[in-house]
Amino acid sequence: MSTPGHGTPERRSFGHGDGRILLGHGSGGRLTASLFHDVFLPAFRNPALEAAGDQAVLSLAGTRLAVTTDSFVVSPLFFPGGDIGRLAVCGTVNDLAVGGATPACLTAGFIIEEGFPAEDLRKVVASMAEAAREAVVEIVAGDTKVVERGKGDGLFITTTGVGLVPDGLRLGPGEIRPGDQILVSGHVGDHGVAVMVHRAGLEPGGTLRSDSAPLTGLAQALLQAGPGAVRCMRDPTRGGLATTLAELAAASGTCFQVDEAEIPVRDEVRALCEMLGLDPLYAANEGKLVAVVDPRAATAVLEAARSHPLGREARWIGQAVEGAPSEVRLRTVVGGTRPLDLLEGEQLPRIC
């Protein structure tokens, strides 16, 4: 997610205490939104940035280009199901994909701490190359900086992506209408919990792994199944599914009604979250997408999602409804209702 706080133009409290940057300012939740609206947007204001999407869509020389950039600081660098290199490719490709763009190329910037093992760097770069082949995109330029020992944390990577957007394609929260259905492409929380468990040295058992994967094929399948019917797509990374839904509801000015029983969460993810006091709906994903769809195309879009390897567990989890705008109401499994809002603070730092 490149520019958090979609559709929340009001100025926010910059943070807590003495006004210094906190870990929570990188969470993708409410504090990140405050940073965007209070610092970056006023300084850089322009129509593309004000759209606050995962990618900026620009019309240049008769071509619609999508541009996005993201930095990756995950700890540890290697974890079940992936590593920082795979994340750096998939995360940026996915920001293009959910905008309906076909990735054209990536650039990569490396900040390496003196003393970092060359063999680990080779593994990360090989992983990036493999992920790029999966995503059918080339890494065409880059930059390398080395900082003094103790002045970094091993390796940070920044990737920038450029993609092509078809003429006439319109996606965004402004397209959402009451009655639209909300789809999630599979189990949520896998990435955030897998990284957290590996970081803590716990042995979860089972097959819990990060879901990091390039979503271009899945996103294109949904768009082709219902031409003009997919209103908006997002990948629920930092802040998880709950924060993504809250952002979309706020940006669209509609109310979302979501059923907890329909949201797919693996038993081991749910159990680990309960043990650690976490909410899986706020845990990060790196290979899932959320789509808001015209109900007239719901059957075709769901069939297309489930026909793709990354969408076999896709489900409808709720819909946009008439009512109080900019809210997400979760019908709980015990029959109650509770609101879902932007992530407050930092649930799991440095998970992407």
Residue 87 reports pLDDT greater than 80 = yes
Domains 52-164 and 173-340 share a fold: no
Residue 311 binned pLDDT confidence (cut-offs 50, 70, 90): very high
Res 348: pLDDT = 79
- Predicted pLDDT of residue 1: 42
Q: Are the C-beta atoms of residues 76 and 199 closer than 8 Å to each other?
A: yes
Angle at 320 between CA 317 and CA 322, to 5 degrees: 140
Question: 8: pLDDT confidence band, cut at 50, 70 and 90?
Answer: very low
Q: How far apart (Å, rounded) are the C-alpha atoms in residues 11 and 25?
A: 15
Percentage of the residues of the chain whose pLDDT score is greater than 70: 94
Q: Which residues does 345 contact at the CB level (< 8 Å), separation at least 6?
A: 22, 24, 27, 29, 30, 31
% the chain with pLDDT above 90: 80
- The reported pLDDT for the residue numbered 12 is 45
Average pLDDT, the chain: 92
Nearest to 86 by CA among 133, 154, 153: 133
> What is the third-level CATH fold of 52-164?
60s Ribosomal Protein L30; Chain: A; (3.30.1330)
Per-domain residue ranges of the chain: 52-164, 173-340
Runs of H (alpha helix) within 47-155: 47-50, 84-97, 118-135
Looking at residue 345, what is its pLDDT?
A: 74
C-alpha–C-alpha distance, residues 57 and 96, integer Å: 10
| CA–CA gap between residue 227 and residue 186 (Å, rounded) | 22
Model pLDDT for residues 159-199, shown as the tens digit of each residue: 999 999 999 999 999 999 999 999 999 999 999 999 998 98
Nearest to 194 by CA among 273, 300, 123: 273
The band of 203, judged by pLDDT with boundaries at 50, 70 and 90, is: low
More confident residue, 161 or 277: 161
Residues 226-260: tens digit of each pLDDT: 889 999 999 999 999 999 999 999 999 999 999 99
List pLDDT tens digits, range 103-141: 999 999 999 999 999 999 999 999 999 999 999 999 999
Q: Which residues is 181 bridged to in the sheet?
A: 293, 319
pLDDT in the model for residue 220 = 97
Using CA atoms, how far residue 60 sits from 54, 57, 165, 334, in Å, is 19, 10, 11, 52
pLDDT on residue 140: 98
Write down the pLDDT at residue 130. 98
Between 213 and 29, name the one with better pLDDT: 213
Nearest residue to 288 (alpha-carbon basis) of 320, 258, 313: 313
Check residue 260 and give its pLDDT. Answer: 97
Look up the CATH architecture of domain 173-340: Alpha-Beta Complex (3.90)
Whole-number Cα distances in Å, 261 to 19, 299, 315, 316: 40, 20, 11, 11
**Confidence label for 3 from pLDDT (cuts 50, 70 and 90):** low
**C-alpha distances in angstroms, 198 versus 132, 191, 195, 298, 347?**
25, 11, 5, 38, 16
What local confidence, expressed as pLDDT, does residue 7 receive? 43
For the segment 24-47, the average pLDDT, to the nearest whole number, is: 91
User: If you search the block for the tokens 């069939």, which residue do you land on?
Assistant: 303
**Is a pLDDT exceeding 50 seen at residue 79?**
yes
Contacts 24+ apart (CB under 8 A), 335-341: 340/242, 340/245, 340/246, 340/258, 340/281, 341/30, 341/242, 341/246
Contact (Cβ atoms closer than 8 angstroms) between residue 70 and residue 87: no
